Each structure stands twice: as C-alpha cells, then as structure tokens.
Structure 1
Amino acid sequence: MSTSSPASPVLAAGAVCWRVLDGKIRVLVIHRDRHGDISLPKGKVDPGESLPQTAAREIEEETGLDIALGAPLGTTEYTLPGGRDKIVHYWAAEVDDETHEAHVFTPNDEVAKLEWLSLAKARKALTYSHDREVLDRFSARVDNDTARTFAVIALRHGKAISSHDFDGSDAERTLLRQGEKQAASAASAIAAFGPQKLISSTAVRCVATVKPLAKLTGLKIKETDRISQDAWEDGTADVQAVIAKRLRKRKTAVLCSHGPVLPEIVAEIARQTNTPVDSAVRGSAMLETGGFAVIHLSAERPEAGIVAIEVHSPGI
C-alpha cells in the first residue's frame, strides 16, 4: 500500500497598513467582490521570493501603496477549501501622508475597493476571525505606544573565500559566487523594510555584500572600522557608539558585519533599550553567511525594549 506525503502549506504574506488621520489611527481593509469578503491585503509567495518581499509586493499590487514593513505581527494558519493548509505572515506598515498621496488604486478583478477604518470598525468589518486576530495584535501595539517602529538590521556578510585559500589580508577577502547570490537575495528582502542608512565594516566582503542593496535603494554605503572584525579582535571596535547613534536617529539602518562581532551588536542593542539579553536575543545573532536579523524598536520610546526580532536566512 503506497501513501503520499501531504502537500506543503501555501505560503503568503501581507500587512496591516495604517495611517494617522485627524489624530486617529485608521487601518486599511480591502473589499474582494470575487470572494465576497472584506480582508487584510495579502498574497501568495512567488518562486524565489522572501516573505518580506512578498508582503511589500502584494500590498503595492493590490492597493498601489509603496510601503516599508514595520514590526511583524505573527502568522495565521487555516485550511483552504481543497484541504491544503495556508500560512500567512503579517507585518505592520505605516502609510505616511506622502505615500498615501502618491498611490494610485484602480479597482480590478482581485480588489474592488479600499477602505480606511477605525480599529473598532475594521474589526467588525473583517470577514474572517484570523484577520481579526492579526488586527488585535496590532491594536495591542497601539495601546502600548509601539505601533510606530524603526529597525536596526544586523546583516552578516555573504560567504567569502577561505582565509586558507586567499593570498592577502583577512580584510581583503572577497565573496565567493555563493556569497554574491546571498547578497542579492538579502538585498531584495531587506529593501522591503525601507532602510534609510547602510553601514558596513570596511572589510571587502562586507562592502560587497551591501552593494546590491545600495543599488536597489539608491543609498550610499558608509564604511567604518568600528564594526570590523580586525578592530574587534584588536580591541579598537566601538559597537556601543555605533548603536547609540542609531537609536538617537530612530531611522531604519543596516549594519553589515562579521560572525564574531554580530553577537556584540545585538547584545548592545538590547542593553541600550533595557531588553534582557536572553537566549532569544543571543540566538538572533547566530546568523548564517548572508543572513540577517531585523530588530524592531519603538520610535516613540526605544528605551522601552525590543518590540520584535525576526531572523531571515539567505536560503542559498
């Protein structure tokens, strides 16, 4: 007797898009005539896409809004009519006035209408209980002043030539082809969070890892020895100052560094935001080459602690 393995779950991603209108929070719901429902915007992952990339793309395709993802809101899981499981990953995404004014929405076969509602009215309007659960998670963020966030994104450089196979200093080691692919993959995913600053160790492998992201976002790369491995090893690194500045600026920034330095970067973020340096915090720094951790902090009061941490693997 032969048995077939169950089909893998359908993966999708979306966001609770929100804005402040007349001093009050409004969230976006979409009307889908084809399904006869009102829901949160989301869509299925395309081949080769990361989940953050999917969320940003789907929001733009369904609503015309060019968003930057904020802190994650967890997942919902349910069974489709055909019996296959579906897992949807959600983020919060603030829509500022400029983004809202620039967007163009045209009713289509998928989405017939957009509507901005108060939290209470949105909760009543949503057709599905799993959407209401996601909205409730966002409402909890609003209640404790952590809805508006920025992030420090700790990125490990892509896979580089081994020091045993390289004739030169450690800082001059270059990326392997695999590392170049990891850098390109990380760039597409990190861009979904709307970084405003790119900071890299001066090591060639770190700068090369950030270059695809710089090209994608149009941002310049600031190189610094303060988070380089050489400086960390000889005691001249200054991770504390780098993190302090990022917390003062309160703008999403990428820090590309090295395996030995990343635990100090993540721990310093925790210490300066009064977050316990527990196993979850320490574990988020144990990144594969080309992997990154997105550490979300409250823009209103970053000293209140880390709002959320998500870790992404390059998958290459």
Structure 2
Amino acid sequence: MSQAATAAGTVLAAGALVWRRVRGEVEVLLVERTQHRDISLPKGKLDPGETLPECAVRELEEETGLAVVLGAPLGHSEYRLPDGRDKVVYYWQAEATEAALAAASFSPNDEILALHWASLDDARSACTYRHDVAIVERFEERLGAGHETTFPIVALRHAKAANPFSWDGDDASRALTERGRAQALSVAPGIAAYAPSRVATSDAVRCRETVAPLESVLGVAAKATAELSQESPVDPRAAIEARIAKAVLKRRGTVLCSHAPVIPEIVTAVVHATSAAETERTHRASMLHTAEFTVLHVSAGERPALVALETHGPPHR
C-alpha cells in the first residue's frame, strides 16, 4: 500500500469500517452524505503531505466526531469519478471504544447529514455502492476468524542521514539531514494512527532522531538499545526475537526503529512469533527505503496470528 506507487492524477482517499458491539452484536457505522443523499462508509480525500493512515484517522474524526485507532487494513476500492479521474480509497477496520463513543460529538453539516449504526446484514443492504459492500464483507470474514481486534508491530527504518563517506565521526554518530528530519516529521502521524504504546530504537543518532517526532505525537519516551543497532557487538537476532515474543504475548503495540540490515530480522521475528509463513510479501515488507515503515497487524485474540501487513513512507510534498 503506497501512494507513491499510484498513477499520477489518481485521487487518493482513506477511510475506515468503524465497528462496535451492542449487547454482543456487532454494528458498523455508515454515513449519509448531505448533497448526494447516499449511504457509505466514512472516508475522505488525502491532503497534501499526509500519509494514508493519517488521512483515515483525520477524516473519521471530521466526518463522525469519533477519534479512532486504526486496526488491520481491509483493502481498497477503485472507481471512476464523473470527471474521468480514477479514485482509490483505502480502508481499515477500527473499533469504536466506549471511551471514543462517549467523547464523540456529531452535528449534521454540509458534508454529512446523519450517522447510522447498522448490523452487518443491514449494512450490506443499506450501502449505496457495491465497493462499500465488499469492504463490509471483508470485515465479516475477519470477524468470523476472530481477527476483528489487532495490535501493531511496526518496523521503521531511520530517515535520511548524512553521507557516511563525508561524515566526520563514527557511523553511529551520523545525524539526519534536513530531508531526513522532514521525513521523520511526516511519517510520525501515520505511525501514531495505530496508537502503539512502546517505541524502541537503535542507539545510533540517526535512529534516535527519527523517532523524536513520534515520541512527541504519542507522548511516549523511546528506549534506545544496542540490540537494534547494525553495529551491535553480538548477533541481534535472539534479542529481537525475545523482544517481539514479549510484545506479542502482552498484546502490546510496539515500534522498532532500526537500520536496513536489521529490519528483515524484525519482520522475521514477528512471523515466527505468530507462527506465520515467510513469503515473498513478508520479504518485500522488510526491504524498506529511508523513513518507510511496515505495520504488521497481529490478532489480539486467544491465538496471535499475523492478520495483515502494510508499508508506508514519507508522502510527497
């Protein structure tokens, strides 16, 4: 999933299937638009400088008043707009917690006329567009598998750092460039959309500087460790496996920021901790450019399972 890979001129948007339980039954949130008078899932267009997950959270709050945390992605829909442009909308599942519902405030406006909570059966009937029905059906499959609630393990590669061949100092002291600092700022809200509760980073300066904006957004202090460094004096694999296994056991959303050679070890550790299979997709998800991050969504159910994964990077400005 990457806006950078989308054809020029394509309109990008993001939204979520928001769900809740009422007396044991699952309901999903639909919006009735004021001008079109259609029924759909909440979504909105990407703003300049936004990542897709950041857009989804912002649009959900603007349209419904709900502040949500993104769960696993549900795929995307594609269709042609009346002006001939293509539109691609990315969706996530997102639980409306009791706290979020209590804090939410909605009033009809020029964009959204009303909010409707509906059972899955009623939502399929109510949605105006077939592509929304397809998203509802994908979520129903997740629900049937017991994967409606997930937590994130995020592998983040550090942002652009100073050239090692012209840097006057050891490699671990290399700082971010101006471009790198902009990258770190731009991806922080996207990672925060998944509300991880822990941040761990290599003790290299470029990694610590990469997570600094994320620390501010989350209000979480990062823990720097040589275990995540590419210059670790020992093989980091055992330490990374143990760290990931603990995060999975405790169902703890965690960000791990490191270097290109270490990122595959992080992804592999999540695969092992969830008894998943290593595939070409998990391999690609570990081959990150500077400031890119892969979110591995693990089921919070009785048996942890790798439900989905997605990769994002700094948006074009």
TM over 0.5: yes
How far is 1:19 from its partner?
Answer: 1.1
Q: Deviations over 1:61-85 (max 9, x none)?
A: 0001111111111110111222221
Q: Is the contact made by 1:202 and 1:228 (CA closer than 8 Å) also made in structure 2?
A: yes
How many residue pairs end up in the alignment? 309
Flag structure 2 segments of 5+ consecutive residues without an equivalent: 1-6
**1:308 counterpart residue number:** 308
CA 1:224–1:30: 2 relative to 1, 3 Å:
same
Residues in 2 aligned to 1:286 and 1:23: alpha-carbon distance in whole angstroms: 41
Give the letter aligned to residue 141 of structure 1.
R
Q: Deviations over 1:11-44 (max 9, x none)?
A: 1110000111211111101111310111100011
**2:99 counterpart residue number:** 98
Higher RCO structure, 1 or 2 (CA under 8 Å, sep 6+): 2
How far is 1:162 from its partner?
Answer: 2.4
Residues in 1 aligned to 2:8 and 2:224: alpha-carbon distance in whole angstroms: 46
**1:203 counterpart residue number:** 204
Q: Summarize the alignment of residues 279-298 of structure 1 with structure 2, pairs less than 5 Å apart.
A: 279-298=280-299
**2:231 counterpart residue number:** 230
How far is 1:218 from its partner?
Answer: 1.2
Residues in 2 aligned to 1:50 and 1:103: alpha-carbon distance in whole angstroms: 24
CA 1:118–1:258: 2 relative to 1, 3 Å:
same
**2:4 counterpart residue number:** none
Give the letter aligned to residue 307 of structure 1.
V
Q: Is the contact made by 2:49 and 2:315 (CA closer than 8 Å) also made in structure 1?
A: no
Q: Deviations over 1:89-119 (max 9, x none)?
A: 1111111100110111111111111111111
Q: Is the contact made by 2:154 and 2:256 (CA closer than 8 Å) also made in structure 1?
A: yes
How far is 1:203 from its partner?
Answer: 1.2
Q: Secondary structure at the match of 1:67?
A: coil
Q: Is the contact made by 1:226 and 1:242 (CA closer than 8 Å) also made in structure 2?
A: no
Identity of aligned residues (%): 47
How far is 1:122 from its partner?
Answer: 1.1
Q: Deviations over 1:262-314 (max 9, x none)?
A: 101101110111111111111101000110000011010453x3111101122
Residues in 2 aligned to 1:223 and 1:245: alpha-carbon distance in whole angstroms: 17
**2:53 counterpart residue number:** 52
How far is 1:163 from its partner?
Answer: 2.3
How far is 1:174 from its partner?
Answer: 0.9
Q: Is the contact made by 1:247 and 1:302 (CA closer than 8 Å) also made in structure 2?
A: no
Flag structure 1 segments of 5+ consecutive residues without an equivalent: 1-5
**1:133 counterpart residue number:** 134
**2:3 counterpart residue number:** none
Q: Summarize the alignment of residues 12-161 of structure 1 with structure 2, pairs less than 5 Å apart.
A: 12-161=13-162
Residues in 1 aligned to 2:303 and 2:267: alpha-carbon distance in whole angstroms: 14
Q: Is the contact made by 2:51 and 2:313 (CA closer than 8 Å) also made in structure 1?
A: no
**2:261 counterpart residue number:** 260
Q: Secondary structure at the match of 1:81?
A: coil
Give the letter aligned to residue 248 of structure 1.
L
Q: Is the contact made by 1:25 and 1:118 (CA closer than 8 Å) also made in structure 2?
A: yes
Q: Secondary structure at the match of 2:212?
A: helix
Question: After alignment, is 246-255 or 91-100 more displaced?
Answer: 246-255
Q: Is the contact made by 1:70 and 1:150 (CA closer than 8 Å) also made in structure 2?
A: yes
How far is 1:315 from its partner?
Answer: 4.0
CA 1:205–1:7: 2 relative to 1, 3 Å:
closer
Residues in 1 aligned to 2:254 and 2:118: alpha-carbon distance in whole angstroms: 31
Q: Secondary structure at the match of 1:234?
A: coil
**1:169 counterpart residue number:** 170
Q: Is the contact made by 2:70 and 2:194 (CA closer than 8 Å) also made in structure 1?
A: yes
TM-score by length of 2: 0.94
Residues in 1 aligned to 2:8 and 2:287: alpha-carbon distance in whole angstroms: 31
Give the letter aligned to residue 250 of structure 1.
R
Give the alignment's Cα RMSD to 1 decimal: 1.5
Q: Secondary structure at the match of 1:28?
A: strand
Give the letter aligned to residue 234 of structure 1.
V
Q: Is the contact made by 1:7 and 1:84 (CA closer than 8 Å) also made in structure 2?
A: no
**1:3 counterpart residue number:** none
Residues in 1 aligned to 2:60 and 2:81: alpha-carbon distance in whole angstroms: 21
Give the letter aligned to residue 182 of structure 1.
Q
**1:275 counterpart residue number:** 276
Question: After alignment, is 130-139 or 32-41 more displaced?
Answer: 32-41
Residues in 1 aligned to 2:172 and 2:302: alpha-carbon distance in whole angstroms: 37
